[in-house]
């Protein structure tokens, strides 16, 4: 069955105080979405990510170099992701719609390469 990446995007200044009622509501929504994915047999893996400022970028060439901070200079950063299995693109798009609703923000859908 084809696999897809669903990635959640936030602006680069996004921070969550998980003690707030709003954050707890969103955590519950995402938890319910995760349960729905698992119950449907579509779940492969998923995780939230620390802010992009915590990233280390590793580059190769004649020498390997490492730098702190995000790779991309952009106003939006990936905040989390799911790897799912879906019968086809239409099914994957439906899961992406549900993810965007649960996260209350944009979700990018990308098919995985075969092989």
Q: Which tens digit of pLDDT belongs to each residue from 11-27?
A: 766 677 888 998 899 89
- The CATH code of the domain that includes 81 is 3.30.70.1060
- Per-residue confidence (pLDDT) for residue 65, from 0 to 100: 66
What six digits make up the tokens of 70?
Answer: 């995000």
Q: How many domains does the chain have?
A: 1
What is the full DSSP assignment across 40-89? TT-EEEEEE---GGG-EEEE-SSS-EEEES-SS-SSEEEEEEEEEE-SSH
Q: Which tens digit of pLDDT belongs to each residue from 43-93?
A: 999 999 888 778 888 888 777 666 666 556 666 778 899 999 999 999 999
- pTM for this predicted structure: 0.83
Q: How many residues in total does the chain contain? A: 115
CB-CB contact of 77 with 14 (8 Å) = yes
The domain of 47 spans 3-111
Q: Report the alpha-carbon distance of residue 108 to residue 104 in Å, rounded.
A: 13
């Amino acid at each position: 069955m084809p696999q897809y990446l669903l990635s959640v995007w936030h602006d680069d200044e996004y921070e969550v105080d998980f003690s707030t009622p709003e954050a707890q509501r969103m955590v519950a929504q995402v938890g319910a979405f995760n349960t729905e994915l698992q119950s449907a047999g579509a779940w492969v893996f998923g995780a939230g990510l620390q802010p992009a400022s915590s990233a280390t970028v590793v580059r190769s060439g004649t020498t390997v170099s490492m730098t702190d901070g995000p790779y991309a200079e952009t106003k939006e950063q990936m905040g989390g992701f799911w790897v799912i299995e879906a019968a086809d693109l239409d099914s994957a798009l439906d899961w992406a719609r549900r993810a965007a609703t649960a996260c209350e923000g944009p979700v990018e859908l990308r098919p995985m390469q075969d092989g």
